[in-house]
Structure 1
């Protein structure tokens, strides 16, 4: 238990299990992210920007794999940020910033990261804003640095089969939720509401997301590649795919 009254290890485990209910291959995709970091790392002191980092899932794994790494975690959710701050050590900087705001980079401690990583987060950002964000991310990478976005990335050539794969995954997930094998998203937040510390942050969280665009947007792979190339990245492509999800990488 931390001085602030939460057990970060327990909350990290709870978050991981809930997320794995939606993403059974979650650790595989994290490994692909970190393999990509290793491929571009310039020495042992790799610098990573963990974008929309939530509870710190990527940062925690990066710091275990790269003992001399430093990470900067950016997010806007007060509940998830509290868990992250209580989980990470002095090798990490936690920044509160909204990626919908073009000035989100103002609070970063540096603008020459080896890697910018994000997972299952940017699908909530509107198309025109995501286009601008891809260009802004390039500006905080060092030359040769890499940006990797893992998210729902439909294959342009498999629209029908991709949808059916999604139905299979949904049925499997709903069965696990119904059996109590894992918590659903809503059930996890019900637990947050009952926590004497985190529950107090829910009203602040509602205010943060009050004007958020609630429609998911999952453009196909071709959109990501075209947008990244237009933003000026020198190399673009996939470093991992699992069903309908993929890790799109771009090198500055």
Structure 2
């Protein structure tokens, strides 16, 4: 394989990741906007940010674009997503990426900084079950400076409203089916393309070994909780204040202030 043939178009991979994610979360950018508004309001315009379960670096990209004086550390275990992140941010001194398993008790020892102003994560922690997530919240409190902010944007369904939930789910699925008919990729389609790419095929195979094959489904072990549960868990983990600061019918953004 020639050097030219082995190159990847990292910008194209980032754009396709965003399109695939927006198929599931059409108000994704609004969610990011509120997240960064809260970062600026609470810790200022030059934050040191931990991008937790960073994937391709979606949060890091938006942090650095909005805050030129910011620095970010992305943490993830997925070799394929980290390959895209590292390729995208190659030569960017404000961003660095760490391979770590968030269920490993020692994962924080791999971080390059002793403390962070903000820890941000989106559409990621629903992969964890309840007890490991409680443990993780305590570890996050440990890497935040006093006055630092943690923001988690994720699927947080409200169990007390089953009819509303079902109506939203049916409406969302109908929209997704219409968009699929126009060629929009879903999660499995996107990973098929990753596995077929000559640069990413190796990292994708590693990813499938760690998490399972996303083409066949790989979310089976996770759990979701309502925003109120997350706020209570954050307070129990040592955060001084915690509450929901944004929501859509199916997702929410919960903020914990240390």
Fold-level similarity (TM above 0.5):
yes
Counterpart for residue 97 of structure 2: 94
1:175-197 superposed Cα distances (whole Å, 9 cap, x missing partner): 211331x1111111111122111
Counterpart for residue 216 of structure 1: 222
Give the 5 Å matches for 1:129-208.
129-180=132-183, 182-208=184-210
Counterpart for residue 110 of structure 2: 107
State yes or no: 1:66 paired with 2:67: yes
Moved more, 160-169 or 228-237: 160-169
Q: Alpha carbons of 1:95 and 1:41: their partners in 2 closer, same or farther (altered >3 Å)?
A: same
Per the alignment, in what secondary structure is the counterpart of residue 214 of structure 1? coil
Per the alignment, in what secondary structure is the counterpart of residue 173 of structure 2? helix
Displacement after TM superposition at 1:4 (Å): 6.0
- How far, CA to CA, are the matches of 2:133 and 2:4 in structure 1? 36
Q: Alpha carbons of 1:219 and 1:106: their partners in 2 closer, same or farther (altered >3 Å)?
A: same
- How far, CA to CA, are the matches of 2:56 and 2:230 in structure 1? 26
Per the alignment, in what secondary structure is the counterpart of residue 145 of structure 1? strand
- How far, CA to CA, are the matches of 1:213 and 1:29 in structure 2? 22
Structure 2: runs of 5 or more not aligned: none
Per the alignment, in what secondary structure is the counterpart of residue 142 of structure 1? strand
- How far, CA to CA, are the matches of 2:157 and 2:195 in structure 1? 34
Q: Is the 8 A contact 1:154 1:162 kept in 2?
A: yes
- How far, CA to CA, are the matches of 1:174 and 1:111 in structure 2? 46
Select the residue among 38, 41, 45 that pairs with 1:39: 41
Q: Segments of 4+ in structure 1 off by > 4 A?
A: 1-4, 210-213
Moved more, 1-10 or 95-104: 1-10
RMSD between superposed Cα atoms in Å:
1.9
Q: Is the 8 A contact 2:195 2:205 kept in 1?
A: no
Per the alignment, in what secondary structure is the counterpart of residue 147 of structure 2? strand
Counterpart for residue 78 of structure 2: 77
Per the alignment, in what secondary structure is the counterpart of residue 250 of structure 1? strand
- How far, CA to CA, are the matches of 2:4 and 2:127 in structure 1? 32
Counterpart for residue 9 of structure 1: 11
Q: Alpha carbons of 1:40 and 1:244: their partners in 2 closer, same or farther (altered >3 Å)?
A: same
Per the alignment, in what secondary structure is the counterpart of residue 53 of structure 1? coil
Counterpart for residue 231 of structure 1: 237
Q: Is the 8 A contact 2:155 2:252 kept in 1?
A: yes
- How far, CA to CA, are the matches of 2:250 and 2:167 in structure 1? 10
Q: Is the 8 A contact 1:111 1:139 kept in 2?
A: no
Moved more, 32-41 or 204-213: 204-213
